[in-house]
């Protein structure tokens, strides 16, 4: 008999709220208040998210973020700094017991299983992607012809995993590297290198595709690869309370965003 996971309605919210919700789901799952959950969402306004241990001044052009009206938030997960374009990506988050995805002692196996679902979604859209193991500086990701199309990061706690990741619908490399600092490279140099290392669904298909179409493909990919049913339900009141608290006391605060600490 297939497991049934919860599917949260496809949503567009602020950076701080998106990260508060992802962590609230993880806390609720650890407490066994909710089932394994797939969430699909977008960011408005566009945002930069920092990995748990990243240093803001080393990774973000703060003046550019202010100039472009781009939000900034620090994730509870590891990984690098990411630009989330309001129109250019669909983000997924998976919150589940690791035994449903891979082995607790093998983080790569969890990445591989989730990426297999994302790759199947891309296949449905007409794009063939490959799993890339990553390296010391980069989490595992999905590539097309050697160019990254999907990246993600994880938070692990008590046998449960939160993995959230991006799937690039389109990509504005100029804007991305006006915001993200790359070691020893100017924005122009980083953009030129990015053209050789990053791609998107629109680039690969040579035509645009809607975010809703991508979200629907992701649902199908997760159902097929994880062999699960999806039942759409909203956040529970338990999660809403946790998310509101995290939003106000953590993800909206300068202390957390800039320093990774809470007062």
pLDDT in tens, 64-82: 999 999 999 999 999 999 9
User: Are residues 200 and 90 in contact, defined by beta-carbon separation less than 8 angstroms?
Assistant: no
Compute CA 135 distance to the chain's CA centroid, rounded to the nearest angstrom: 18
Q: What is the pLDDT of residue 138?
A: 75
| Whole-angstrom distance, CA of residue 156 vs CA of residue 212 | 29
- Is the pTM for the entire model greater than 0.85? yes
User: Are residues 91 and 42 in contact, defined by beta-carbon separation less than 8 angstroms?
Assistant: yes
Q: What is the mean pLDDT of residues 140-168?
A: 95
């Amino acid at each position: 008999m297939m497991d049934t996971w919860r599917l949260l309605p496809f949503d567009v919210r602020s950076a701080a709220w998106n990260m508060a919700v992802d962590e609230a789901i993880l806390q609720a799952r650890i407490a066994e208040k909710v089932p394994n959950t797939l969430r699909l969402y977008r960011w408005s306004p566009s945002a930069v998210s920092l990995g748990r241990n990243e240093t803001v001044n080393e990774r973000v052009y703060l003046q550019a973020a202010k100039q472009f009206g781009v939000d900034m938030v620090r994730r509870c997960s590891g990984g690098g700094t990411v630009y989330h374009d309001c129109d250019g990506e669909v983000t997924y988050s998976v919150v589940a017991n690791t035994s449903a995805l891979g082995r607790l002692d093998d983080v790569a196996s969890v990445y591989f299983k989730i990426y297999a679902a994302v790759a199947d979604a891309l296949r449905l859209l007409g794009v063939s992607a490959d799993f890339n193991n990553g390296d010391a500086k980069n989490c595992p990701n999905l590539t097309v012809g050697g160019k990254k199309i999907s990246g993600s990061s994880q938070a692990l706690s008590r046998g449960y995993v939160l993995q959230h990741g991006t799937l690039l619908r389109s990509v504005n490399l100029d804007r991305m590297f006006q915001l993200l600092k790359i070691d020893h490279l100017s924005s122009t140099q980083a953009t030129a290198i990015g053209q050789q290392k990053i791609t998107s669904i629109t680039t690969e298909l040579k035509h645009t595709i809607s975010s809703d179409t991508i979200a629907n493909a992701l649902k199908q990919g997760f159902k097929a690869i994880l062999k699960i049913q999806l039942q759409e339900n909203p956040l529970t009141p338990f999660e809403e309370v946790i998310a509101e608290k995290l939003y106000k006391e953590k993800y909206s605060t300068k202390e957390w965003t800039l320093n990774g600490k809470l007062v």
